[in-house]
Amino acid sequence: MHNYPAFARIDNMTVRELTYLIKKDAKENDDRTITGLFYDSTSIIKDSVFFCFRGTRTNGELYIQDAIDRGAIAIVCEKDIQLPLGVKCISTQENIRNVYAKASRAFFQYPDKNLKLIGVSGTDGKSSTSYFIYQLLKSFGKAAGLTSTVYVDDGSGLKKTPWRLSTPEAFPLHSFLKNACNNGCEYMVIEATSHALSKEYDRLEGIHFTSSLLTRITSEHLDFHKTHRAYIDSKLRLFEMTDGKCFILSDNIAREEAEERFKSKVKVLDRPEIVSLDTSSLTFIYDGKEYTLPFFHSYMLENAFTAASLVSSLLSLPLPEVLMRLSNLKRVEGRDELVQNNIGRNIIIDFAHTPDSVSRLLSDYRALYPDGDFITVLGAAGERDKSKRAGLGREASRYSSHLILTEEDNRNESFDEIVNDILSGIPTELRSRVDIQIIERREDAILKALEISSVKDSIFLLGKGHEMSIEGKEKRKYSEREAVRNALSDLCAICSR
């Protein structure tokens, strides 16, 4: 059993209650009602509270006056500071982000305790696996919600996510969970990122999962975690926060440590054997019986099988009964998405942005299409994990005859620097075989890929997937699907001249 402060009440937390939650200060007598908790001063509304997050480039304390000007009645920061009359300073030596998560849970009256939470983490496959679990629960008539990189559902229907973050910050997350409770959800599937699970950001502080699952783990976000060890530790925190069964494939690099640390609550799964596949489906065998998945990738089978295993355990159903429903699964938008066209090319949009995901996608397609050129368009995120860039170049060049390096989200980093990092991973022996072009504007790179392609070639557009913007020095609207449609239209216009 978990103890929850009796004073937590939805929508009318007071300054006194917040102060007690943070400092256990029973002498506080300020009963002004708080309207919200924010870490971005531009989001402040009248009578809300501003939390001074310390970021990589700035410090929230620099924006205290802006928060006050916009109507903040309390400031949560690391030290006591003099504030104008009527504005409360609540200082704490704890991690401000951790405090923010605790306060957010209290503000919305701990909605997580009224839901059966399912956590999904890993490097690749989190969004697909989360969506598969959600679909399977719904197929059994369960009132299930979802929050992931691509989709959300708080019980009011599936929608595109409103958040750039895969796991939102604590206040919007708990607001979302509260809505899910109000809308009658029983289950909630949460895609949990390494940032959200880390002790530094701790967006999920205090949450207890009913069941959880780790997808394949390679390496990612070392710009934040610094070491691979810290990255894996953040992922394993999900199992630490889970009260029930935790699922992991036998060849996952974290499996042995997970078993050692979490003992009997860890369920290790062996991947089933694929017996046949074509461009639209695969057949696999489990316990002597064949089942169908409407995708042909081996990694999609990993995601779907682990999702089914979790749901089988969660609902106390025989696993074969759940596996039978895999044939009806729908894929996540921007994951291995085949673009229909009338020029005889395979045009694939995929979110692959790690060396492992790029390698697995391209190798699976090469097995199906041994002939025809592979033209790969990709970049790498600026101001993010630089350690993976060489690997992106290495894996893309292994399978591609043409490689077009372009923007992904350069942010404020030099495009040339990003490109040079990717190029550094391409082996010398491949440089003479692979045609490498550098075209910064992504729309132009896609058009070039179409122009140099021939019938039966495969064009892979990687790294953006479902996303609806590109972040450069300024952010601009962008859709990979729309960019492809426009490029196809432009190509037809060029050919008709």
pLDDT at 451: 95
Average pLDDT, the chain: 91
> Do the domains 111-328 and 15-107 match in fold?
no
- pLDDT of residue 407 exceeding 80, the answer is yes
Position with higher pLDDT, 9 vs 264: 264
**pLDDT of the residue at 225:** 44
Spatial contact of 484 and 453, defined as CB atoms under 8 Å apart? no
Name 495's Cβ contacts closer than 8 Å, sequence gap at least 6. Answer: none
Tokens of 338: 């085949």
What confidence tens digit (pLDDT) does each residue in 262-291 have? 999 999 999 999 999 888 899 999 999 999
Q: Does domain 111-328 have CATH number 3.40.1380.20?
A: no
Tell whether the model's pLDDT for residue 344 goes beyond 70.
yes
pLDDT at 244 over 90: yes
> For the chain, what are the domain ranges?
15-107, 111-328, 337-495
- Give the predicted TM-score (pTM) of the model: 0.88
* Residue with the two structure tokens 């971005």: 40
User: Tell me: the pLDDT tens digits for 415-461?
Assistant: 999 999 999 999 999 988 999 999 999 999 999 999 999 999 999 99
User: How confident is the model over 118-142, as pLDDT tens digits?
Assistant: 999 988 889 999 999 999 999 999 9
CATH architecture of the domain 15-107 equals 3-Layer(aba) Sandwich (3.40)
Query: At 436, phi and psi to the nearest 5?
Result: -110, 125
CA distance readout (Å), 197 to 192, 194, 204: 7, 5, 6
Q: What is the pLDDT of residue 193?
A: 87
Q: Which CATH class is domain 337-495?
A: alpha beta
Mean pLDDT value across residues 394-414: 95
Q: Integer distance in angstroms from the first to the last C-alpha of the chain?
A: 73
Give Cα 135 to chain centroid, integer Å. 18
Helical spans, DSSP H, in 183-267? 194-197, 222-225, 228-240, 255-262
